[in-house]
Amino acid sequence: MAETSREKIPNTAAAGLTDDLIVDILSRLPVKSLCRCKCVSPHWRDLISHPDHRRWLPQTLAGFFENDFDNGREVWRFTNFGGARQPPLICTPFSFMPGYEDVAIVDACNGLLLCRPPKASPHHVSRFVVCNPATKSWVVLPDSGSHGDDVEDDEPLVARLGFDPTVSAHFHVFEFVENDYGTVAGVEIYSSETGAWSYEESQWNYETHLFEFSPSVFINGLLHFTTIQFEVVAVDVEGESWWVLPAPEDADDVDDPCNWNPGFLARYQGLLCYMTRWYNGRDLSIWVLEDYAVDGWVLKRQVTVRQLTEKISPPNGCYYRLITIHPDCNWITYVSGLESMLMAYDMDRNEVHVIQNLGSRGVVSCIPYVPSYAKSLTDGH
């Protein structure tokens, strides 16, 4: 790391601290305070940004993985959150995985990415790869066997990743198995601790249907989904607890089913959040589950689609696509407009912010990414 002149640090008691002591102190701060510390001096900014120190410091939303198509080929790019003044945190997302550079991102969870090799790839038989772009490590998962022998013609199943580094260094992959009617028959669960898959039959309603793009959240050891039955369902990492909860009261109050979209799940201040979203000027309702035992949904905020989109030129009074809730400042991030404008709604101040123009390049997915510098993948890569 390049040395920065100590004269740039204010003449305070902190100026006499060694770098190791400063990093140790900073590691005990919450993310919002850590971000403010970057403004203390160039030296502190460099200490906080240095790769050797990041594993000890709390991390926040760094940006988004976006996919679009270039000459018929799916391409993934990374966009920093908050603007394009600096180079992307991750320039070429999968260049560190020889032979797996063309994988597609299926899911992201607390710094890890669940990826799938394309069908035409010789590596498709492995089906899934879990990687950590921050540490440039990855694990190729064994085949679950849930799709039978016909790998090439098999349609992608709904798969999700579960990882919480505050609880365990191990991750889980959920691959849901469908029956002939397209509803959930059971789930194959991979444990990085055992290195093996295990199958459990579904204990949800036999009509439970999960879509490939169903929003999901991993929290409290449970993977949560919304369903077309206006329910929130969940399963734990052992496949032993299968949980069903009705959606908030106004989620099924839709006059025209053609204008309905499945509820969007996110994490809000450590709690499960459910956001109802419709087109044609319907309000965005934001609910938080404060008590699992009593179906304790609490309405936190309602905001009109007009307010969410009025800062776009030309105004777009009907369309937006939710991405996530910022983990540290209660901002709902979303994309709206013909040029894919990245925006944020501040729930605390009831304000809308335009963050940056992603460009009219036909972005299909926008996956939020919070880096993890913990060494959790231990397969030797």
Quick: pLDDT tens for 281-297. 567 889 999 888 777 89
Does the residue 236 lie in any domain? yes
Per-residue model confidence (pLDDT) at position 1 = 41
Task: Judge if 128 and 35 occupy the same domain.
Answer: no
Give the pair of three-digit tokens for residue 192: 């990085």
Q: What angle do CA 378, 380, 381 make, to 5 degrees?
A: 100
Per-residue model confidence (pLDDT) at position 32 = 57
Give me the CATH number covering residue 248. Answer: 2.120.10
Task: Judge if 85 and 22 occupy the same domain.
Answer: no
Task: Judge if 271 and 145 occupy the same domain.
Answer: yes
Per-residue model confidence (pLDDT) at position 124 = 54
Task: Judge if 38 and 81 occupy the same domain.
Answer: no
pLDDT band of residue 23 (cuts 50, 70, 90) is: low
Task: Give the number of other Cβ atoms within 10 Å of residue 316's Cβ.
Answer: 18
Q: How far apart are CA 103 and CA 67, in angstroms?
A: 11
Give the end of a domain, one of 58, 82, 107.
58
Task: Judge if 238 and 94 occupy the same domain.
Answer: yes
Task: Judge if 197 and 295 occupy the same domain.
Answer: yes
Per-residue model confidence (pLDDT) at position 261 = 63
Mean pLDDT of 189-204: 94
- What is the amino acid identity at position 136? K
Does the residue 325 lie in any domain? no
Does the residue 314 lie in any domain? no
Q: Tell me the pLDDT tens digit for each residue of 321-353.
A: 889 998 888 899 988 876 678 889 999 899 998
Instruction: Return the higher-pLDDT residue of 263 and 38.
Output: 263
Give the end of a domain, one of 58, 83, 107.
58
Does the residue 6 lie in any domain? no
Using DSSP's 3-state secondary structure scheme, residue 13 falls into: helix
**The pLDDT of residue 76 is above 60:** yes
**The pLDDT of residue 185 is above 50:** yes
Task: Judge if 222 and 111 occupy the same domain.
Answer: yes
Q: Tell me the pLDDT tens digit for each residue of 107-140.
A: 999 999 999 987 766 655 568 999 999 888 999 9
Per-residue model confidence (pLDDT) at position 317 = 52
Domain containing 104 equals 71-307+364-369
pLDDT band of residue 24 (cuts 50, 70, 90) is: low
Q: Tell me the pLDDT tens digit for each residue of 236-252.
A: 999 999 999 888 866 55
Per-residue model confidence (pLDDT) at position 306 = 81
Mean pLDDT of 7-26: 61
Query: How far, in Å, are 46, 78, 94, 116 from residue 91 at the CA level?
Result: 20, 7, 9, 20
Using DSSP's 3-state secondary structure scheme, residue 319 falls into: coil
C-beta separation of 114 from 128 below 8 A = yes
Task: Judge if 133 and 27 occupy the same domain.
Answer: no
Calculate the average pLDDT of the chain. 78
Number of domains composing the chain: 2
Task: Judge if 52 and 77 occupy the same domain.
Answer: no
Q: Tell me the pLDDT tens digit for each residue of 363-381.
A: 567 899 988 887 657 544 4
C-beta separation of 304 from 283 below 8 A = yes
Does the residue 327 lie in any domain? no
Task: Phi first, then psi: give them for residue 14, nearest 5 degrees.
Answer: -65, -25
Give the end of a domain, one of 7, 34, 58.
58
Question: Measured in Å, how far apart are the chain's first and last C-alpha atoms?
Answer: 25
Mean pLDDT of 198-215: 88
